[in-house]
Every structure is written in structure tokens, then in C-alpha cells.
Structure 1
Amino acid sequence: MLVKPHICKHVGKKMPSSTPDGTSRTARPFLRRVADAGALTLMIATIPAQAKPAAPDLILFHGHIFTAESTDRFVEALAIRGDRIVAAGSDAAVQRLADARTRRIDLGGRTVVPGLDDAHVHLEFEPEGQVSLALRSADPNWEELRSAVRDAIPTLPAGTMLTGVIGTTAFHDTGIDRAALDALSMDRPIRLSTWDGHGAILNSAALKMLGITENIGEQMGGGFERDQHGRLTGVVREYALFGTVAGRLAAITTDADAKAAFRHTLERASQYGLTSIQDMPLSGTVERTARLLATMPTPIRVRITRLNNSTQQGPDYLTAARFPARPNPLITVSGTKWALDGVIFEGSMTPRGTKPRNTAPGSPYSFAGLPPLFSSSIVDGMLRDALRNRYQLQVHVVGTRAATQMLDAMERSGGAAAWRQRRTRFEHGDGLTPDLIARAKKLGIVVSQQGSHLDLVGIDPSLGQGFLDDLRAQRAQPLRSLLAAGIPLALGSDGPLNPWQNIVGVTTHPDRPDEAISREQAVSAYTAGSAYAEFEEERKGTLTPGNLADLAVLSQDVFSVETEALPQTRSVLTLVGGRAVYDAGVLEGAKALR
């Protein structure tokens, strides 16, 4: 099993390293920890007396501690000094490092994991006062939508925006458009968004609220659908949605409301045991997101990646301008993400009217047929910009065609020599079929996948058995095969934040059970793998001496609990840099760590 490439770490020897953003750094040396008391005693004893480190500030002992390292995967105790782990091993050996000032916390046999690192998050904020429609199903039809809107309108003042989440039934019903929603209400904005965030239907009041008029320009890689007379139908897709619509929603949201939304999400994250998230702000709000997060302050670490917009002419490289790389010690800004295709549910830019059922290879509603959003020459330009400005490139790639397009472009622009060390990321990577895996490995691709995405027929039963047969015939959605090939795997949410629900997805993989991975592999991908994906493996991701003391003490043993109980897992104590950012009050002595 391989979650991250082996990185040789030698005692007393420093190794030069750098990130794609051009920030040089030196990999700090550390002594590889061992689990048995005798070896740990020897490790300490071989250090000259005058060089022995000070005693730890904190020792966690009597635990079932998963280190996420390739060897010595479980230990009993950890020693922490300041914000770093200084020792890991047996209870007896680690406790011998303590002095009278060292705090000790008895874990009572509880499971501990490195702080989870969600590799794919969109920290969103929207105006307060919106009202969600009371919909009975996840895939409502027109009758249900109409009834929900009519029930809501009498209770709401004019101007209140009504929002609803829809599936393919409503989105592909050409009778549901701006005119149909206007017939329900002309003075209350209505916005129906697909659950995957790549499509929406708005009425006239919503378009007006967002300043979207009939003469709005088109965007490459996105679309404002128009009728035969050239009038907006209210249907919005891809870059027009998460660029223009999301951007204008963000623009009319106050800083106070945005910070409240961030605070709620980050506090909830810490309760799950997440100590880091990798945020890709929609609507080009990187600078605003960084500014707000830097002043909150945040309880956990946040990496912010630019998610650029597009214009009628092509990608908007202006939003790739540099921002302060580290607005505060917990916030990092680096990298740029582009969406190269859409999602199979909506067929990306495919005209509405054909609901994806029983698809066959080549259909726009299959991984094989999903069309790219940009031409190959545009993708070449994206790669040139990344090389010129030395940033990590992240690409939303779901279908096989966009994956092939990207690999072709990387080979044209220098191949492995130019890209292998840059850790280019495929966000999702469902379409990395077997014939592409060796190419991805050679080019140094890192795959960031989401467990909640691996039960597509469960999400939308209308896709049918034919779709599932097609998916399996293509051998799409690889996980186990990626690890076997040596491709680094990171895990995240891109939806439901609960990491344990996402781990259920990757360890059962309903779409392709043969590609499921073990729980140890999954936790390693959610920690060490995600750290590697953001060039942070020398600071976090494993519970290794020298690394940051980011960890979670869990409410149950995630390596043995029944699958159906796994999503109920919570952290009882979450440490970021040795400081408690969440404490459920279960462990005696933890209160002193706040």
C-alpha cells in the first residue's frame, strides 16, 4: 500500500526541497520513532547528555494511536513539547521522558489519529435571509417544487430569496425554466440549484437581484442558456454559475455573515477531528476569504487555493495574481484550480431534455463521453501559466476525455521532467481508466477523491443499472488501483463535511466494490495523503517526532466499529499544534490545553 512516495529522512542530514510556488524550505531531520521501550530508551540515551531536549509539556498515554506511518503504524503514547511531537512509542518509554511539570492525559484505550486534512472543501457564504424550500425528496419533480413554492410564499415578505436543491428530474425538465418560476412568483427571487453545484435555474427576480441582464456576456466553459428568441431561460451552468452567480451572491453578503458561515463550518470540522482543510473558494473570492479568515482567527489550518474564473475570451489569469502566502500561522494561500469538465448528471454543456438513463460509452452522461469545457489550446495555456508562475495546478477532472486532454497537454509541455515533482492534482479523477493510470503515475499526478461521490446510482436512482454497468465496464472510479500503481491518494469531502461518512464511501465503494480500500488506507489518505497533496508532509499528516501536534482522540475505534456506525464517530479532543481546539469534556486534564 502506498499513500505517499517514500521520503528518505536521515538523522542529522538536511535535504533541500521546494514547493511549486517557489518557496524554498529544508526538510527537518528527526529520529524515527519506535514502538518498543528498549529501542526508545536507546534512542534517547545515544544523544549526548548536554544535547538532551527538555522534558515534554504533555504526554498522551494508554492509547491506540494510529501514526499513519508505513512502519510502526500503532503506538501507545505520544510526547508533545510546544506545538510538536517529540516522541512516540510505548507507555513506559514515553512516560520516562516526563518531569514534574509535564501534563499527562490517560486516553483510556481510545483511538487517536493524525488530524484529518480535508483535501477538497468549498467554504461558501451567501446572504442571510434566504429560505430553503421544504422538499420531500432529493430529486423533486415539478409538482413537488410548485407545491413547495406555493406553500412558502404566503409566509414570506417580498424580496425573500427561495432556494431549493434539485436533481436530474427537474434539471432536465425543459418545462421548468425562468418563465415557469415567474408564474409562481415575480417578486420573490427563486433559485433552484443542482445538488452537485454545476447547474441552476433562476427566475426573473433572482436574475435581477444578481444584476444579470439580457445583455450579459457569455463565459468560456460556462453558459447562460437562451431560448430561440435569444432571451435568458434562467438556466445557468459551470463557470457562469460558480463564477458569475456565486460571485454576485458573495458580493451582496456582508463580512459579518461570511465570517459567521466560516466559523460554523470550521468549528464543526474540529468536532469531526479535522485539523486542516483545503479550501477552493468559489466566485474568485480568494483575497476576501484570506482576509476574513486571517482576522477571525480560525481554530484549524486552512489552505486556500485560487479557483479562477473565465471570460468570453478564455481563462481569467488575473485572478491567479499572488496573495500573501501566509496571512497568519494557520492560513496558507497557494495553487490554482481549473474545472476542465463538468459532471455526468447534467452532461456538462449538453442541452437539456435528455435525462441520463442507461447510458452507453460515448454518451455525454458517461465518464467516457463527458466533454471537456475548454479546447486543448486553452488547456495548454493553463499549463504554461502554471509553469511560468510556479504554482501547483489542480484540475477538476471527472470524465475520461478531460483526463486524457490534461495528460496530453502535460506531455506536450515538458512531460515528466517538467511535471513529476509538481504534484499536479486531479480533483475527483473518476475517469482515470486503466489505460491512463501509468501515464498519470509517470507525470506525478496526485488524485484527490471524495467518498460521498462513489455511490452515483444511490444518489440518483434514475441513472439506472445500465449506467452502473457502463461505469464498471470502463473500470472508472479507481482507488485500490491507484494505490497499487503508486499514485498518491488524498481524500476530502466536496459535500458532506463528515470525514467518517466519506471513509464509508471509499471503504465500501458501492459503484465499484472491487476498488474499495481498507480503513487504514483511508485514514492514511485523509491524513498523510492529503498533507502530501499540499506539500505539507514534512510538517503534518503523520504522528511522527518533529511533526506538528495535530491530532484527534476519537469517540470510537474507527478501525473495528461496524460500517453503519462509522459516520457517528466524533472527536472527543482535537489538538492543533498541541492546543485543544475542541474538547468534549471526556478526558480528565484536557481542559488545561485550551
Structure 2
Amino acid sequence: MNFLARTDAPRSDRRSHYAPACGCCMAPSQFLEMVETYAHHAGQDLHWTTPRRLVQPFHWTCASQGLQDAVLQGSLDAASASVLTSAAAQPSAAAPAIRRRPALQRVCTGIDKALLNGKIFTSDARQLWCEALAIQDGRIAYVGSVTEIEALCGPGTEVFDLGGRVVIPGFNDAHMHHTPDPVGVRLPIDPVADPSFEEVGRMIREAVAATPPGTWIYGVMGIELINDRRVDRVALDNFAPEHPLILLGLTNHTNVINTPAIVRLGIEEEAPDPLGGYFERLPGTRRVSGRIHEYAQWAPQRCFASMATVEQGAASIRALAADCLQFGITTVQNMSWTPTARYVEMLQAADAPIRIRLIRFPPAGPEGRVLHEGVGLTPSIGKRFGVSGTKWILDGTSVERAAAMGRSYADDPSTEGRENFSLAEVREMMRESLRADDQLLLHAIGPKAVENVIRAAESLPDIDWAARGLRMEHGDGLDAEQIERARNIGLMVVQNPTHFLFPQIYGPRFGAGTRFASFRTLMDKGLAVGIGSDGPVNPFLGLMAALIHPARPEEGSSMEQAVIAYTLGSAQAEQQADRKGMLAPGYLADLAVLSQDIFSVAADALPATRSLLTLVEGETVYEATE
């Protein structure tokens, strides 16, 4: 099998491109990439019932490829469909490959690369735009005019003529949950279309008929199926009595498993509830029903994730990196269900070309939270990989009506959600982060959970929480008064704009006239804001959602605000804003040249954007073919 090489590239710049050579002559990383590419394309010809790795490089828990496909096909609810239906019909304009100009015959000043004739957005408020930049030793050396940068080029400078294309700092996905999976059958459930339980049952029966007993079967539930109380171990056992079966909720805060899965994952029949989560029980008994919530599912998920081999995990990480690079994503901040030490092994084996920050995501048991998870690991585990920060989940989400509202849900007065941890426990999390000098990340969606974060931080005086990097993930329930208090304590928010594409989980649940899912206001009020995908990895889908905000249009941002949040803001979210996230002198040369001008195209055309050229620390790690 031959892959055509990029023949106009210097020999030293062929690291990420295939050459028409025998596999035994390739570099090890090149060979593994070729094998993974072949396996990916070969797998497309297999029926979905054929067991294979359950690799979901975008996001393990949310069926994000299905979501992304559905979004681009305009199959979301009617409230969102009007702004999305043309996305698939408007691909990015075809463009010739970026031209390389001969190096100028000047005295060499040591400039490695020069990008000329571009529309370069720097994310640097001191100079938001320029038309050229120079790279030296992996960092931005100069930004300015074409004339200024040309004067710095020498015989050894690699010169890119951008032809007016847009350049931005590399995206930094501040919130994702990539988790490699073991071998099994992935049910072709579209969680956005949200098929009925009966239809899902037919899929399960087909998978059972096509595979031997003991084969894992895996699927993702949409919003209605998550809340369908008929879905429990008894019902699933009727479909799959000898196959372990997991149905993950779209948000992964409520999962359902059958009896073989309960046995395989080591869950006791009358398992006690852990701190921060609970098992539902079969009527009249203490036996688990298969419906598991919040921290009750952390240990089972980690057990399932641990069944993937290191080699499978490395292949999944390489697939994730390949997807990220075509979108111009140069950094991801990952909260994996794979135990931290094992994911580190996978990272080391993968040797991926993007930056990956692994954030500890510990479980909890009946005795309390597990505090030793990954604490003995070296923060830096490679040139582009590291382990830092700890995340805790303080409540559920509004999808399951589990976000802690502190009052009844507007569309279901029987519930007001649930706090996973008390105010005292949240305060202790903050003290632990101070003692360990470790960044703290807190998932908080409902107003009550949000209030606990703010009150806990306010109760610990004389702490510079901005310097400590205290993060709130989501923060959908922040009201006007809480936003002011959050700013005063230095709290930053990492938001996930793709969630805005589901207005049915906001307005009806929070209630008319209630502030929810603020975005533009956060930035206007001076809060630091980063962006994570927490779903489809496509950042341009996230940018579209940030601009139009279908759930609350008045909170839509400008493109400049959104790009800054997705680059510099996300760098601040990992306490790296002094070295990345901007195209400014001294900053790491992580950047992407885009296929279309995201600052001028219609919002519904944004998801079709791709990167034509992605650099990480000045190295060409991805270049689009024609």
C-alpha cells in the first residue's frame, strides 16, 4: 500500500507525511500511523455488528461523531435546525495548497519559518491583527508587515505565502473526556435523533445474534431514552442475557447496564452507594437495578476503560491527534475515565504530535473521595504531555434534571436536582488543592452547585484564586449576582458552546425569565473564559454555537471573543497563558492556517472549516492534501 509523499518538502520536514516506501524502511511512528490509517479505512467496510475497538476519538461518552454528523445534516430540533441546515451543503471553499516561495537571498538571521500575506489573528489585545510573522526555535520571533518579516528571511528560511488566508493560534480544547475502549460492538444509535427503546432493543438483538456470548455491546442514549424509567437491567437482560451491555447517557451522568455487565464490572448485587453517587434498586429489594448515577458509575467505567490494552489506547490517542490536527487543535486538556497511570502509559506509547494535558479525574467510594489518584506521577511526562489538576463533579446536568437547582425544575416540580457533595466537602476540596499546590476544576451546572463553589471560595480569605487557577466547568446556572461574586474571587469559567445547540435542556428546565448559560456576559463582566468541546471535537461547530447561542441568542459572542476564549482563554485555563494561546513574540508557535475566513463567512458555514496547515512549536505536523 503506497501513500504519496509531499515531494516539494525538504527532507527534514517530512515527519508527518507518508513516503512511497516499504514499511520496513519507515520510522516506527510513521509505520504505526500508516497501519492505523489502513485499519481505519478497512473498518469502514465492516458491518457495525463486527466486534472492533470501541474507539471514539472525539469523546468517549457522548457519541460525538453521531452528534456532529447530525448537526451538519441539520437534524437537531427545530429551534436549532434553522441555523444549521446549510452547514453540510456549504463546504469550505476549495483552495490550492499553500505556496512555498523560494527563500530570499539575504543574510540569514536564524529565522526558521516565515508566514507572509496572511490575515493573521493573534489573540493578543495589543495587536489583534497582522499580515506576517516569523518563527524561530519553535517560538514566534516577530509579527508585523510583509516587508518587515521578509527582511528577516535568509537562505535557510522556509517561506509560506498564505495568499490572504486566515491564521489563528492553535485551538486549545480545555474540556474533553477521551477514553480508549476495549473490543466490542458499538450500537449505531444516533443520540440526537433519540430512537425509542423498542428500536434500540432491535439493534441489541441484532448485535447479540451476530456475536458470541461475552462480547461487549455498547451504545449511547439520547435525552428521552436517558429519562425512560423502563430502561433497567431487567429490560436489557431480555435483549442480551449473555452479553455484557452498557448504555451510556449522552452526558455520562446516568448509565444503564445489564446483569452480565454488572458481573463483569465487579459490582456487588447490593453495593452500597458511594459518596457523590447512587445506585437505583429493584423494587422491594436492595439489589442494584442497573441504573447508576454520578459517582456510582465512576468505578465501573474505570474498570471498563482499563480493559483496553496500552496498544489499543495508543492507537486511539493517535486517532484523536489526527482528528485534532485537521481542525487546527494543538492542545487538548483531557479528563479520562482511564485510570491516570494507565493513560500515561498509553500517552508514552502513542507519542502523538499534539499537546495533551491529562487532568486527574478520581472516583469516590462509600468511604469517601479517592485522593491518591495519580498524585505520584511526574507532572511532565514528555515534551508535549503532562499531568496536572484535579476535577470533581459537584452535580449532574439539566439533561437528566440532575443539576442542583436549589428549587424545583420548571418542567418537573417533583425534582430539584441533586448535589453530589456538600458545601463543607467543596471547601475541603479547595483546601486540598492549596496543600498540594494543584489546580482545582469543579463541574457545577445548577445554581445551587454554583453557589457552593462561590461560597466555599469566599470562606477562604486571602487566597488569590485567579493565581491558583480555580476553574468552574460549565457554570450554566450563574445568575447576575453570582457572576459579580465569581469575578471578585478570580474564578474562571470553561464553557462548552456546543451545549447551547440543545435549547430544550435550558429554557424549559430553568424556567421563563431565568438567566442560564451565560457566555458573552461572562466576558463583558471581566471573567476569564475558556472553551472546551465536551462533545464533537470540531472547534468550528463550537464557534458557530458561541456566535448564535440558540438557547439564549442575546448571549451570543463575537467571533473575536470566541477565538480568544478558545485559544488564550483555554491557555489561561491550564495556567499556561504566559507561553501559549497568542501569536506574539516569545510565545510558542502553535497555529493553524484555515480553509476559509471564519471572521466573515456565515455562521452556518463555520463547521465545514478545516486547517490547511497546522504547526506545533513551529513544526509542521499537519498539511492538508488537495
What's the TM-score once normalised by structure 1's chain length? 0.83
Report SS of the residue matched to 2:463.
helix
> Where do 1:422-441 residues align within 5 Å?
422-441=468-487
Q: Which residue of 1 aligns with 2:616?
A: 576
Report SS of the residue matched to 1:278.
strand
**Deviation, structure 1 residue 286:** 1.5
In structure 2, the CA distance between the partners of 1:576 and 1:173, relative to structure 1 (3 Å rule), is same
In structure 2, the CA distance between the partners of 1:53 and 1:73, relative to structure 1 (3 Å rule), is farther
Equivalent-residue separation in structure 2 for 1:293 and 1:72 (angstroms) = 36
Equivalent-residue separation in structure 2 for 1:537 and 1:418 (angstroms) = 17
In structure 2, the CA distance between the partners of 1:74 and 1:401, relative to structure 1 (3 Å rule), is same
Q: Which residue of 2 aligns with 1:413?
A: 460
Matched, 1:231 2:273: no
Equivalent-residue separation in structure 1 for 2:233 and 2:403 (angstroms) = 18
Equivalent-residue separation in structure 2 for 1:418 and 1:63 (angstroms) = 40
Matched, 1:85 2:127: no
Equivalent-residue separation in structure 2 for 1:73 and 1:133 (angstroms) = 44
Report SS of the residue matched to 2:398.
coil
Equivalent-residue separation in structure 1 for 2:454 and 2:232 (angstroms) = 38
Equivalent-residue separation in structure 1 for 2:173 and 2:317 (angstroms) = 15
In structure 2, the CA distance between the partners of 1:249 and 1:92, relative to structure 1 (3 Å rule), is same
Equivalent-residue separation in structure 2 for 1:127 and 1:141 (angstroms) = 27
**Deviation, structure 1 residue 296:** 2.1
Q: Which residue of 2 aligns with 1:121?
A: 176
> Where do 1:501-580 residues align within 5 Å?
501-580=541-620
- How many residues are treated as equivalent by the alignment? 516
State the AA in 2 paired with 1:467: R
**Deviation, structure 1 residue 371:** 2.7
**Deviation, structure 1 residue 141:** 2.1
Matched, 1:341 2:407: no
> Where do 1:262-281 residues align within 5 Å?
262-281=317-336
**Deviation, structure 1 residue 156:** 2.0
Q: Which residue of 2 aligns with 1:397?
A: 444
Which of 471, 483, 486 aligns to 2:523? It is: 483
Decide whether the 8 Å contact of 2:123 with 2:564 is kept in 1.
yes
**Deviation, structure 1 residue 550:** 0.5
Matched, 1:325 2:367: no
**Deviation, structure 1 residue 134:** 4.9
User: 1:407-449 CA deviation, whole Å, 9 max, x = no partner?
Assistant: 11111122x5342421200011111111101110111111000
> Where do 1:21-420 residues align within 5 Å?
54-134=109-189, 138-227=193-282, 228-241=284-297, 243-283=298-338, 285-319=339-373, 321-348=375-402, 359=411, 364=415, 369-414=416-461, 417-420=463-466
**Deviation, structure 1 residue 521:** 0.7
User: 1:194-226 CA deviation, whole Å, 9 max, x = no partner?
Assistant: 111111111111112212221433211112211
Decide whether the 8 Å contact of 1:394 with 1:427 is kept in 2.
yes
In structure 2, the CA distance between the partners of 1:313 and 1:413, relative to structure 1 (3 Å rule), is farther
Q: Which residue of 2 aligns with 1:5?
A: none
Structure 2, unaligned runs of 5 or more:
1-106
Q: Which residue of 1 aligns with 2:51?
A: none
Matched, 1:467 2:519: no
In structure 2, the CA distance between the partners of 1:134 and 1:301, relative to structure 1 (3 Å rule), is closer
Q: Which residue of 2 aligns with 1:46?
A: none
In structure 2, the CA distance between the partners of 1:263 and 1:174, relative to structure 1 (3 Å rule), is same
Equivalent-residue separation in structure 1 for 2:599 and 2:190 (angstroms) = 36
Report SS of the residue matched to 1:295.
helix
Q: Structure 1 residues 540-549 or 177-186, which shifts more?
A: 177-186
Decide whether the 8 Å contact of 2:271 with 2:288 is kept in 1.
no
Equivalent-residue separation in structure 2 for 1:136 and 1:314 (angstroms) = 33
Structure 1, unaligned runs of 5 or more:
1-51, 351-355, 587-594
Report SS of the residue matched to 1:474.
coil
Equivalent-residue separation in structure 2 for 1:295 and 1:156 (angstroms) = 31
What's the TM-score once normalised by structure 2's chain length? 0.79
Report SS of the residue matched to 2:267.
coil
**Deviation, structure 1 residue 545:** 0.8
Q: Which residue of 1 aligns with 2:65?
A: none
**Deviation, structure 1 residue 569:** 0.6
**Deviation, structure 1 residue 229:** 1.0
State the AA in 2 paired with 1:400: P
Decide whether the 8 Å contact of 2:281 with 2:287 is kept in 1.
yes
State the AA in 2 paired with 1:256: E
Decide whether the 8 Å contact of 1:237 with 1:349 is kept in 2.
no
State the AA in 2 paired with 1:347: R
In structure 2, the CA distance between the partners of 1:129 and 1:175, relative to structure 1 (3 Å rule), is closer
Report SS of the residue matched to 1:129.
strand
Report SS of the residue matched to 1:56.
coil
Decide whether the 8 Å contact of 1:135 with 1:144 is kept in 2.
no
Equivalent-residue separation in structure 1 for 2:444 and 2:476 (angstroms) = 7
State the AA in 2 paired with 1:128: V
Equivalent-residue separation in structure 2 for 1:135 and 1:515 (angstroms) = 29
**Deviation, structure 1 residue 66:** 0.5
State the AA in 2 paired with 1:580: T
Q: Which residue of 2 aligns with 1:45?
A: none
Equivalent-residue separation in structure 2 for 1:443 and 1:164 (angstroms) = 41
Equivalent-residue separation in structure 1 for 2:455 and 2:428 (angstroms) = 13
Report SS of the residue matched to 1:572.
strand
Q: Which residue of 1 aligns with 2:27?
A: none
Decide whether the 8 Å contact of 2:401 with 2:509 is kept in 1.
no
Report SS of the residue matched to 1:541.
coil
State the AA in 2 paired with 1:417: I
**Deviation, structure 1 residue 348:** 2.8
Report SS of the residue matched to 1:259.
helix
In structure 2, the CA distance between the partners of 1:136 and 1:359, relative to structure 1 (3 Å rule), is closer
State the AA in 2 paired with 1:515: E
Equivalent-residue separation in structure 1 for 2:616 and 2:171 (angstroms) = 11
Equivalent-residue separation in structure 1 for 2:470 and 2:401 (angstroms) = 25
Decide whether the 8 Å contact of 1:554 with 1:573 is kept in 2.
yes
Report SS of the residue matched to 1:559.
coil
**Deviation, structure 1 residue 465:** 6.3
Equivalent-residue separation in structure 2 for 1:53 and 1:531 (angstroms) = 33
**Deviation, structure 1 residue 112:** 0.4
Matched, 1:494 2:494: no
Report SS of the residue matched to 2:605.
helix
Decide whether the 8 Å contact of 2:340 with 2:374 is kept in 1.
no
**Deviation, structure 1 residue 518:** 0.4
User: 1:276-334 CA deviation, whole Å, 9 max, x = no partner?
Assistant: 01111225x12221232133211111111111211212211121624211111101211
State the AA in 1 paired with 2:472: F
Equivalent-residue separation in structure 1 for 2:210 and 2:174 (angstroms) = 40
CA RMSD of aligned residues (A): 2.1
Equivalent-residue separation in structure 1 for 2:424 and 2:141 (angstroms) = 50
State the AA in 2 paired with 1:302: I
Decide whether the 8 Å contact of 2:133 with 2:140 is kept in 1.
yes
Report SS of the residue matched to 2:296.
helix
In structure 2, the CA distance between the partners of 1:143 and 1:388, relative to structure 1 (3 Å rule), is same
Decide whether the 8 Å contact of 2:259 with 2:290 is kept in 1.
yes
Equivalent-residue separation in structure 2 for 1:136 and 1:293 (angstroms) = 29
Report SS of the residue matched to 1:417.
coil
